[in-house]
Structures are given as structure tokens and as C-alpha cells.
A and B are shown apart, each in its own frame.
Chain A
Amino acid sequence: MSATSDERIEAALGQDATAREARDGMATYIVPRAAAHDALSRLKGAGFESVTLVTAIDRMPREPRFEVYWQLLSLQHKLRVRVVAEVPEDDAHVASVVDLWPGAGYGERECFDMFGIEFDGGSNQRLLMPDGYDHFPLRKDFPHQGIEPDRLYREWERERRSEAGKS
């Protein structure tokens, strides 16, 4: 695997992308949030037939707060590429890529579940945390013991007891 970039990637990304330091033998490009879907679509056309990871990083004190990552794999070119888009907290959404790679849905759901970043066109459902949970556990301002972690259980129990009382 080449640690440096490839002209096929450069050509597909065009003017939108800025190169970042390559890590883990993977060329990294930062793209504007609005252009992310188009850039990824062009990369798919350039031979990146699968997306291996969709995730985010919370760089809390910094603005914009979130970085959403896509890692793509091209088996035919033996290449990987990492694409980054910065997402601010007060407007945390980015275009979904499930129309390009249906397998990206899991990563996007986990990303929504853990960081509260919405994916336009994605399902935006909870994946690991229960439905009705209010918080996003991987945000850096989330306390590790949680905020009322037993709330949903207590609500369920209260409802169950009131139903048992009726019958």
C-alpha cells in the first residue's frame, strides 16, 4: 500500500480537497462539508468500491467541533483513502452516503448514536443505545457515568407497575 497519494485520487477529488498529513499509510483529504457527498461520489467512480469506516471525532474545545471520517478501499487499485469533513456542533449534519454504499448505514447510525451527527438521507436511528435515549455518549462533555442512566428503565418499571395495579 502506498503511503503517498495517488493521481487517481487527486483527479477525482479535484479542487475541493486539501491534503492532510498521511497517517497509517493512508492519504487523507479534508473536504468542505457541503462538497463531501460529491467528492465521495467521484471517488466511487474512480474505483473505490467500498467504504470501510464511517466515524467521527469530537475535538471539543476546537471549532468546528466534529470531524466526520470516511475511509474508502479500492481493491482494484490496491488503495485506501481517508476523507474528512468538519461539522460544527450547532448545525451537526452531513450528507449520507448510503445511496453510494449501502454498507455505510451502520457506521452512520453509530455515528448518530454516539455523537448526535445527523446524516441527511440516512436513517438517523439509535443503534446501540436504547430508543428514547436523550444523550450522545461519545461526546467529550458526556460524563462517563452517564446522565440518569436508569431513566428509561425506571419509566418502564413505573408503567409496568401501574398496569399491574389496574388489572
Chain B
Amino acid sequence: MGSLTPVGSADSQAGFFATQADALINWGRKNSLWPMPLGLSCCGIELMAMIGPKFDIARFGAEAARFSPRQCDVLIVAGTLTWKMAEACRTIYDQMPDPKWVIAMGVCSSSGGMYDSYAVTQGVDMILPVDVYVPGCPPRPDAVIDALMKLQKKIERESPTGRLAQGVLEGGDEGTGAFSMPPNQAVTTHRIGTYVAPGDMTPGDGSEDQSS
């Protein structure tokens, strides 16, 4: 390690040792992505199918679904994340050791989906940095496997030794209050919290609805 001079994160600036070490580390990381399955609704069923023998994500080294966040690399948020569950989800993410990645599986965890509601987060990127979004309601297991392969391609481009040399720990926004990756700007979070005063509504006078 003596010849390792501080380098930038771009591969073009890194030396022979750093790039070869990066390739080795990334190869190991991308082929042993252990998922943390956070099955919150119907997406969880597709996630089980994906882990099972028919779709078999063991082909990508990701079959070891651990139910302890301490042993996981990729958090798969599968389903509708409510604000009440958000604290648990964030705690799981914080308990995962670096390096860690997040797949938002399904439209609910990507954008809130059809739940444009007071109880549901409008995308898990409101509370977590997300690496890959998978559309679908629920997405087929193939689509999530595609997301996994995209995540593997993303990991190939990372430079762990560069980060090490910069003295930057892997991953997250833990304790800093800032996302290492900005949340999805497409989510119109500003709508949340807009309050419609009762006077702005135009309810009926109730006369047509005297049923009971």
C-alpha cells in the first residue's frame, strides 16, 4: 500500500494498483450482493418468487437473503412504505454496514404509486438514497433481476480505493443530514403538506344524502 498516493475518484487519475484493486473489490462486491428483503406488500410476493428456484437470483450471487440488516448489502424496499413504517425502514438502512445499496421495488416505493395519501411516503427516496428504481405494480421478478444487474454495473464503476485514499467512508448520509445522492427530483415533494382549508372545498349541502 506504500505506493498508494491519494487519488481522485475518477479512474483516469488512479494508478495501476488502485484500478486493479478496484476491479477486484468491485468484482467481489457485485457478485455477492446479499439482499435485505423488506417486503411491505404485494411486491414481497414477487420478491419471494425471485429468490425462489424458478427465477433464482443465486445465479447473480444474491440468493442469501438475510433477515438481519448487519449481514446485508442491498436493501430491497418491496412495497408500500407508510410514514409509520418509515422509521423502521430508516433504522434498517442505518444498521446495514457499508457499502450498501438500495433498490426501490415497485411504484409504491419509487413514487408512492397510486397511494397519493396522507399515510404513505411518496417514494422511499424521501428518507433513503436509492440506487435503482423498478417500475411495476408489482414488477415481475425479471424486472427486479434486471435492476440487480443494473446495480452490478453501477458497482463496477465505483472506486473503493479512491474513496479510501480520500479518507471518505463508504456510503451514506449517516449523521450528516445530507444525502450522498440527491433524492429523486422528479418526485414533487412540495405537494406534501399543502393544506386545503375547509372553505375552499365545495361540498354538497347534504340534502341529497340523508340516507342512513
Interface residues of A (CB under 8 A from B): 20-21, 23, 28, 30, 57, 59-62, 67, 69, 82, 84, 129-130, 135, 137, 140-150, 152-153, 156-157, 161, 164-165
Contact = CB atoms under 8 A, between A and B. Distances in A.
Contact of B119 (A21, A146, A156): A146
Nearest to B91: A160
Given A61-B204, A142-B118, A153 B175 contact: no
Contacts of B193: 145-150
A150 to B, nearest CB: 6
A150 B116 CA distance: 14
Given A145-B118, A145-B194, 10 more contacts: A28-B212, A60-B206, A135-B118, A143-B196, A144-B117, A146-B119, A147-B195, A149-B119, A149-B193, A150-B83
B127 interface: yes
Nearest to A57: B212
B206 A23 contact: no
B175 A137 contact: no
A141 B212 contact: no
A5 B86 CA distance: 49
Contacts of A142: 118
Given A23-B212, A28-B212, A61-B205, A141 B198 contact: yes
Question: 7 closest A-B pairs (Cβ-Cβ)?
Answer: A146-B118, A141-B198, A62-B206, A143-B196, A148-B193, A149-B118, A153-B86
